[in-house]
Amino acid sequence: MSVHVIAYDTSDPGDTGDLMKVIACFDPQRIRRLALLVKTEGNSDVNDFSREYAMLSAEIALSKWGGSDLLKRATFLFSTGCEGAMTPFGYLFVDEEGGPSGDASRKALAIGCARSRDLTGSEIGTPAHADVVAQTVNDAMKDAGVGADDVALVIVKTPVMSHVASAKLGTAVSKRITSAYSKAVGALGAGVALGEVDRKCVVQEAFDVDLNLYARRAMVFSGSELDCVEIMLLANRVGAGGDLRIETGRMTDCIDAEGIKNMLRAAGCAFDDRGRLTDPEKIVALLIKAGIAPDGSLRGCRTTIKSSHLDMDKHVRAAVSGIVSSIVGTCRNFISANTVHQAPPGGGLCACIVRAP
């Protein structure tokens, strides 16, 4: 099996023209797993349905091309928000069966995908929700044929509901489950599966509160369009086919350009004496999850990121997209905000998929 990763552009949320061009070189019968990781434009408000429109358009196009059986092997991870220097685009992941076996002496990119059962409204936002995430991550590891130590990154999509019943919370007042809260639950669940978070610490009082508790290899997104947990897991596995591999790194804050460069260096990319990337063609995909300190400050300075009428995530995506695009020379970068329980407070994580010799 060999994993292929191809970027494709979209002219609007419903556009699948470029997607269908890049997927045309594959035989749908040989696709073991297919995943779309997509950034689509939209305002991200509760009445913004650009993401749902984009997902429906992709499902229809892929069903016409590969049939309904292909959709059963497909995972759709769509995220809204392309502020700043970020173009609306997607990454197509194809795990193709057949072809030459991988070299047993080195590791190459492997992917695993899994989908949970539907959660009930009373489960979402509770430790039971985190347990479902952990189990689904374990299922994805089995699908990829890897253990927790092989995993470089877990991408989690987790549902959002309007509230959790007060009886589940042990309080007199029901709690509204926000996007950030759902991400917090998803991150800690992933951390349990990867051995980075003690399950005993995953309690209701910790979610979005104990920010010193975090996973280290999880990027979490939430959405109102699903009732289940969806996982795409990226790992480097001995014997996997293809010439791709993944490298992950850390960012101390949302303007940590050096953290991104260090990750690229670790992946085998080179910079000249002026700090310019000399081999950008090696980079197949770049994924960033960036955050801001709880008080909204950045390197000792006050910002309006948390006091603006604009959502905090929009500020962060716009700032980070300019920094990242200036480093790699392209606006096709998957950038998401809010690292609650996915990094130390204010920090972030980054990952790149590169073509290795």
| Average pLDDT of the residues of the chain | 93
Query: Which ranges of the chain would DSSP assign to H, the alpha helix?
Result: 17-23, 50-66, 68-72, 127-144, 166-169, 179-193, 257-266, 312-328
Tokens of 310: 């604009």
Taking only the tens place, the pLDDT of each residue in 12-27 is 999 999 999 999 999 9
Taking only the tens place, the pLDDT of each residue in 62-113 is 999 999 999 999 999 999 999 999 999 999 999 999 766 667 678 999 999 9
Name the pLDDT band for 172 (thresholds 50, 70, 90).
very low
Name the pLDDT band for 265 (thresholds 50, 70, 90).
very high
Distance CA 352, CA 265 (A): 11
In percent, how much of the chain has pLDDT > 70? 94
Taking only the tens place, the pLDDT of each residue in 110-140 is 999 999 999 998 899 999 999 999 999 999 9
Distance CA 328, CA 286 (A): 9
For residue 180, how far is the Cα from the chain centroid? Answer: 14
For residue 264, how far is the Cα from the chain centroid? Answer: 18
For residue 176, how far is the Cα from the chain centroid? Answer: 24
What stretch(es) of the chain map to CATH 3.30.1330.160? Answer: 243-355
What stretch(es) of the chain map to CATH 3.30.1330.180? Answer: 108-234
- Please tell me the predicted confidence (pLDDT) of residue 101: 66
Tokens 């689904």 belong to residue: 136
- Please tell me the predicted confidence (pLDDT) of residue 179: 86
What stretch(es) of the chain map to CATH 3.30.1330.170? Answer: 2-99
- Please tell me the predicted confidence (pLDDT) of residue 121: 86
Name the pLDDT band for 153 (thresholds 50, 70, 90).
very high
Name the pLDDT band for 173 (thresholds 50, 70, 90).
very low
**Annotation: CATH topology of 108-234:** 60s Ribosomal Protein L30; Chain: A; (3.30.1330)
What does DSSP say about strands 283-290 and 334-337: parallel, antiparallel, or unpaired?
parallel
Q: Which residues on neighbouring strands pair with residue 249, listed in sequence order?
A: 350
Closest by Cα among 50, 47, 64, 67 to 15: 50
For residues 103 and 159, the answer to whether their CB atoms sit within 8 Å is no
CATH architecture designation of domain 2-99: 2-Layer Sandwich (3.30)
| Superfamily name with CATH number, domain 243-355 | Cyanuric acid hydrolase/Barbituras, RU C (3.30.1330.160)
Query: Is residue 176 over pLDDT 70?
Result: no
